[in-house]
Amino acid sequence: MLAEKLKILSRAENLQIELQQSREEGKDIRRYEKKAQDILQLPAEDPRREKEATVLFDRLAKAPQVKNYPYVEPSEYTEIVAARPTLDIPQYPLPIDLSNEAIFDKVYGAWLGRSAGCLLGQPVEGYKYGWTREKITGLLKDTDNYPINYYISSDIPQELREKYKLSDKYAKYNNKYTSWINNVKSGVEDDDTNFTVLGLKLLEDNGSQFTPLDVVNTWLTQLPALRTCTAERVAYRNMLDGVTPPESATFRNPFREWIGAQIRADVFGYVAPGNPELASKMAWKDASVSHVKNGIYGEMKAAAMISAAAVTDNVEEIINAGLSQIPEKSRLTEATKELLVWKKSGKSWEEVIDTIHERYDESNDHEWCHTVPNSMIVDAALLYGEGDFEKTIGLTVMSGLDTDSNGATVGSVSGMILGARALPEKWTRPLNDSLLTSVGAMGTVKISELAERTIKVMQTINDTDQSPKTA
């Protein structure tokens, strides 16, 4: 198990991912492709394999841009701001009363929604653990849970357990068993929730004026290294080696546009209701330690959407609030706009998800975990969920790809829109208002207490930033 986890840090193991990432960024890497194939043909035990792959990683980092690359995708904040579009959206920040019970209900709803969406998606997360969209759909249909109407259980007939190779023994993080609903008594530990708790700790200790170096310090002191994945794992190692942001995100990091930053966005939206710009600026500082370009934009967009969800239930307006904070000529913006056109043209949810899967191969590591297709699934679920919490998180998980990450993000947005009191009890009761985490020494924490702590940070930010403004 440990050897498998450490493969994330192998340059040879991830050379194909780096090649694909470099091509998508518009680098001219033709001269390096044969060398890459020669390296990959070396035996795994040959010491030259890793050494030569490392050298090639560094050469690919310096590869020139192809001519006529159609996208403008900066990673520096001032350049991102300069590349943002002008959209016909409300003039944020919108006034909001930070003192009444309504804002607590929304923030608590967002925490509950994130925990519920993560729990729903975690046991069927991705093809690497044996779960494709087709297999998820098959299990759901065979257990009369399609469309999804409740959490997924392993307490099913033996022939179905064998057909779908269900296991109760694969436990991610500190979870005792596989997180089927019959095995849990609280919200489960996951990177998708650990980082939300970690972000809250960051804000409690540093306020909204935190720097990327504060993010580094919080990670290294509060989060165990093996609780990180992909881009975060590489950045974590870089940080331990004294490589600071923004180089910690770029140095030999083939996962730099993957979904890892997007899953860290939520708390920045929570503490800046009605102020997408403030939320996205905080998200940029967080994302810049481990990601670049569309990896950063995914976190900025998600944070802005959650911020907007505190003041409107119009999903298209929420998505546009996210688009307003990222470069107009980016791959993420292009994909999001295309999705909005599909919805307006009358395409069904099934047609939209079919198209996403035709474009992105879920058996390809890079495409399965890249920010762009997963952000599209989030937006599609919100658009077609029609404000119904159960339908929205269900559509997300039925779409495949990164099911727990996307379920968590959608749960946040929906929970913020609806508030805790409006969330169906059948989805919140199994959480028992508790969440398992390995951040610091917290262990199991009350979700309601996390919401209360979030409100305190929100009020402090309001006092220091003068935004979002009180009504």
Kindly report the three-state secondary structure assignment for every residue of the chain: CHHHHHHHHCCCCCHHHHHHHHHHCCECCHHHHHHHHHHHCCCCCCHHHHHHHHHHHHHHHCCCECCCCCCCCCCCHHHHHHCCCCCCCCCCCCCCCCCCHHHHHHHHHHHHHHHHHHHHHHHHCCHHHCCCHHHHHHHHHHCCCCCCCCCCCCCCCHHHHHHHCCCCCCCCCCCCCCCCHHHCCCECCCHHHHHHHHHHHHHHHHCCCCCHHHHHHHHHHHCCHHHCCHHHHHHHHHHHCCCCCCHHHHCCCCCCCECCCHHHCHHHHHCCCCCHHHHHHHHHHHHCCCCCHHHHHHHHHHHHHHHHHCCCCCHHHHHHHHHCCCCCCCHHHHHHHHHHHHHHCCCCHHHHHHHHHHHCCCCCHHHHHEHHHHHHHHHHHHHHHCCCHHHHHHHHHHCCCCHHHHHHHHHHHHHHHHCHHHCCHHHHHHHCCEEECCCCCCCEEEHHHHHHHHHHHHHHHHHHHCCCCCC
Q: Is pLDDT of 56 > 90?
A: yes
Strand partners for 27: 65
Whole-number pLDDT of residue 6: 59
Q: What are phi and psi of 312, to 5 degrees?
A: -150, 150
Task: Kindly report, residue by residue over 156-179, the tens digit of the pLDDT.
Answer: 999 999 999 999 988 888 888 999
Instruction: Parse the chain into domains and list their residue ranges.
Output: 2-61, 92-123+187-465
Please indicate, yes or no, whether the overall pTM of this predicted structure exceeds 0.75: yes
Whether residue 103 contacts residue 275, with contact meaning beta carbons closer than 8 Å, is answered with: no
Query: Per-residue confidence at 468, pLDDT binned at 50, 70, 90?
Result: very low
Q: Is pLDDT of 17 > 60?
A: yes
Q: Is pLDDT of 471 > 50?
A: no
Whole-number pLDDT of residue 387: 96
Whole-number pLDDT of residue 425: 98
Task: Kindly report, residue by residue over 193-231, the tens digit of the pLDDT.
Answer: 999 999 999 999 999 999 999 999 999 999 999 999 999
Mean pLDDT, all residues of the chain: 94
Whole-number pLDDT of residue 25: 97
The mean per-residue pLDDT over the stretch 40-66 comes to 96
Lowest model confidence (mean pLDDT) among 81-95, 157-171, 337-351 = 81-95
Strand partners for 444: 436
Q: The domain 92-123+187-465 belongs to what CATH superfamily?
A: ADP-ribosylation/Crystallin J1 (1.10.4080.10)
Q: Is pLDDT of 85 > 70?
A: yes
Q: Is pLDDT of 343 > 70?
A: yes
Q: How far apart are CA 75 and CA 327, in angstroms?
A: 10
Q: Is pLDDT of 370 > 50?
A: yes
